[in-house]
A and B are shown apart, each in its own frame.
Chain A
């Protein structure tokens, strides 16, 4: 039975439950697991802790003997692990937790194999190529698995590949911005596009409906654009990033206030506004008397924080 622990704590903290009724309330909230729940719990505990201990034991053992192992042995170990995990994925029941864990593990082992290859043969390839090739090789599994954490892994790899590529090739011809601007702008555009595609596709696919992925993408895009604006405020070339940021905030407000309500997205946009305002005032007051500087910042953050709190409370109540 589902535990109502959070409800119980809420009621205790508001003084709704009296002392004499606490035992009955605990019973009604199903906090204490049943015998069947305990049996299931211990079964899972033994399996997971045992597997984790076994896995770590094997890793520690190989680490102890790593220097003495030849390169063929090292490759053999990693490739056997990869084959076992793929085999597990194929044999496990479709859509089961075991099959999803197996395909995720396979994706991670591909990365380990590429790293081992790079370490053993010293090909001289750039770091971004490792992540790009890794993302490319696991793409078929990502498409087939329909498992959101693997998509998250794939997107992290692409983000890393993009930022490392731009770091390695700072004088790329088709952008005229600084290297910091290029990296942040590219990541912002990439993550925003993926967010839009994800939101559209998730309308018709149940497995994509988990909100955390969209929120993660929005956080990535929001962090990039806020950092871009902040960086340019201090470089005094603020016009175009500010316009882009403004468009992003308006789009977030329209999309998640008017169309599909999501308080997380609105909270993120409020935080972005506070941070940009803070950077703006910091830049404008640079060199001014220290006391005035701190006082202005304190007043600004207190005012904006309060406005944000009141606004979020109001829309939360409206949407209940």
Chain B
């Protein structure tokens, strides 16, 4: 299999030449998609048989729980064995049904906070245990959404999304830190990215994601909005600092001053349009790691947010137009400053 990096590593004597022989060729994405389709249809038929035969068992909470654990175990065994995408998607379908059954069991719990918190713990455990990238990503997202429901019920809406910004940046920039945990880090990374985009991205189909299962109606006390705004500002500035630190840029340099100024301004301007700030930050972090998937995701998130922003009812169109115009002017100013700096001879 041709791998340009492998050739460089062999040349630098960091890897044995025999390694090249052992790497199997992967299917391209469209073959994986076709096998995924077949796997899912097959899985749905098998699950149909299962529930048809054992329908009487799943009326009871205990048997629901046991059934979900059995299905999860089956899924784990299939995923652990070396196989192709077809069986992987079969296992994924089993796992999702198991998770749905388990969550249905949790609905018996009296307190909604306990239910969502247990659900988030369960999903976090699945991230750790299940050997599948797609499952890890989905479990991370479900964990974040469950946790955000807990926050909403406790009177702290719009908080979790802003809290996740810095962890998301940290994971993206440290994905290769511990090679043994690379598979987990990859799943958590993409899961955190999608969760942060969803939770800070405003409204989808007229509703905030964190209100998809719960409402804050009836909570005795709610945190004032300046709390989430402050966390948003702090998260962006901290992420900027960390990005500079990873690239060994001195704190007392001109570049650092400009970077912090840009970050502070964009954070202030987008305090009522957090999807823009998060999208721009994600684009920068993705570029720092040459991660085209993340770059694509951030571009899509910016475009989708731009469309959704039109229909949010919290502010008038005139206000939103003003926010966007100020962002455009900031970008233009930064472009002019950058061109001026690049035109100068290099200074220390």
Interface residues of A (CB under 8 A from B): 3-5, 7-8, 10-14, 16-19, 21-22, 24-26, 28-33, 38-39, 41-43, 45-47, 49-54, 56-61, 63-64, 263-264, 267-268, 270-271, 274, 278, 290-291, 294-295, 297-298, 301-302, 304-306, 308-309, 312-313, 316-317, 320
Residue of B53, B182, B327, B335 near A43 (CB, 8 A) is B335
Contact A50 B328, beta carbon cutoff 8 Å: yes
Given contacts A33-B290, A309-B84, A54 and B328 within 8 Å (CB-CB): yes
Contacts of A13 in B (CB 8 A): 182-183
- Residues 1 to 58 of chain B near chain A (Cβ within 8 Å): 3-6, 8-9, 12, 14-15, 19, 22-23, 25-28, 30-31, 34-35, 37-39, 41-42, 45-46, 48-49, 52-53
Contact A49 B331, beta carbon cutoff 8 Å: yes
Contact B12 A24, beta carbon cutoff 8 Å: yes
The chain A residue sitting closest to B346, CB to CB, is A35
Most buried by A among B3, B37, B284: B3
Contact with A along B268-287 (1 / 0, CB 8 A): 00000000100010011001
Contact A28 B52, beta carbon cutoff 8 Å: no
Contact with A along B254-296 (1 / 0, CB 8 A): 0000000000000000000000100010011001111110000
Q: Is there a chain A Cβ closer than 8 Å to B121's Cβ?
A: no
Given contacts A53-B324, A267-B31, A5 and B291 within 8 Å (CB-CB): yes
Contacts of B180 in A (CB 8 A): 19
Given contacts A11-B3, A46-B338, A301-B38, A26 and B324 within 8 Å (CB-CB): no
In the complex, 19 of the A-B residue pairs with CB atoms within 8 angstroms, ordered by the A residue number, are A7-B6, A8-B176, A10-B26, A12-B182, A16-B6, A16-B19, A18-B179, A25-B14, A42-B338, A45-B284, A46-B331, A46-B334, A51-B328, A56-B324, A57-B328, A263-B30, A291-B52, A294-B49, A313-B84
Contact A50 B247, beta carbon cutoff 8 Å: no
Residue of A19, A21, A45, A50 near B283 (CB, 8 A) is A45
Q: Report the separation of the CA atoms of residues A43 and B287 in the bound assembly, to the nearest whole angstrom.
A: 13
Contact A21 B42, beta carbon cutoff 8 Å: no
The chain A residue sitting closest to B36, CB to CB, is A305
Contact with A along B208-222 (1 / 0, CB 8 A): 000000000000000
| A to B contact number (C-beta, < 8 Å) | 203
Contact A301 B42, beta carbon cutoff 8 Å: yes
Contact A308 B35, beta carbon cutoff 8 Å: yes
Q: Is there a chain A Cβ closer than 8 Å to B113's Cβ?
A: no
Least distance between B333 CB and chain A CB atoms (Å): 9
Q: Report the separation of the CA atoms of residues A38 and B8 in the bound assembly, to the nearest whole angstrom.
A: 24
Least distance between A13 CB and chain B CB atoms (Å): 7
Q: Report the separation of the CA atoms of residues A64 and B310 in the bound assembly, to the nearest whole angstrom.
A: 10
Contacts of B30 in A (CB 8 A): 263-264, 267-268
Residue of A10, A28, A45, A306 near B8 (CB, 8 A) is A28
Contacts of B49 in A (CB 8 A): 291, 294-295, 298
- Residues 315 to 335 of chain B near chain A (Cβ within 8 Å): 316-318, 320-322, 324-325, 327-328, 330-332, 334-335
Q: Is there a chain A Cβ closer than 8 Å to B207's Cβ?
A: no
Residue of A7, A49, A50 near B302 (CB, 8 A) is A49
Given contacts A13-B183, A33-B288, A271-B37, A4 and B5 within 8 Å (CB-CB): yes
Contact B45 A301, beta carbon cutoff 8 Å: yes
Interface contacts beyond A43-B339, A304-B38: sample of 6 additional A-B pairs, CB < 8 Å, sorted by A:
A31-B289, A32-B247, A33-B287, A60-B318, A263-B28, A291-B49
Contacts of A18 in B (CB 8 A): 14, 179
Contacts of B85 in A (CB 8 A): 309
The chain B residue sitting closest to A305, CB to CB, is B38
Least distance between A157 CB and chain B CB atoms (Å): 22
The chain A residue sitting closest to B246, CB to CB, is A32
Given contacts A263-B31, A271-B34, A28 and B5 within 8 Å (CB-CB): yes
Contacts of B325 in A (CB 8 A): 53-54, 57
Contact B27 A316, beta carbon cutoff 8 Å: yes
Residue of B9, B35, B316 near A17 (CB, 8 A) is B9
Residue of B5, B8, B182, B288 near A32 (CB, 8 A) is B288
Contacts of A51 in B (CB 8 A): 328
Least distance between A249 CB and chain B CB atoms (Å): 15
Q: Report the separation of the CA atoms of residues A56 and B331 in the bound assembly, to the nearest whole angstrom.
A: 14
Contacts of B84 in A (CB 8 A): 309, 313
Contacts of A11 in B (CB 8 A): 3, 5-6, 9, 15, 19, 23
The chain A residue sitting closest to B16, CB to CB, is A16
Least distance between B12 CB and chain A CB atoms (Å): 7
Q: Report the separation of the CA atoms of residues A12 and B184 in the bound assembly, to the nearest whole angstrom.
A: 13
Contacts of B5 in A (CB 8 A): 4, 7-8, 11, 25, 28-29
Q: Report the separation of the CA atoms of residues A268 and B23 in the bound assembly, to the nearest whole angstrom.
A: 26
The chain B residue sitting closest to A61, CB to CB, is B321
Contact B14 A63, beta carbon cutoff 8 Å: no
Q: Is there a chain A Cβ closer than 8 Å to B306's Cβ?
A: yes
Contact A64 B318, beta carbon cutoff 8 Å: yes
Least distance between A131 CB and chain B CB atoms (Å): 22
Residue of B27, B37, B176 near A22 (CB, 8 A) is B176
Contacts of B317 in A (CB 8 A): 60-61, 63-64
Contacts of B287 in A (CB 8 A): 33, 38, 41
Q: Is there a chain A Cβ closer than 8 Å to B128's Cβ?
A: no
Contact B338 A305, beta carbon cutoff 8 Å: no
Least distance between A310 CB and chain B CB atoms (Å): 9
Q: Report the separation of the CA atoms of residues A31 and B8 in the bound assembly, to the nearest whole angstrom.
A: 14
Contacts of A61 in B (CB 8 A): 317-318, 321
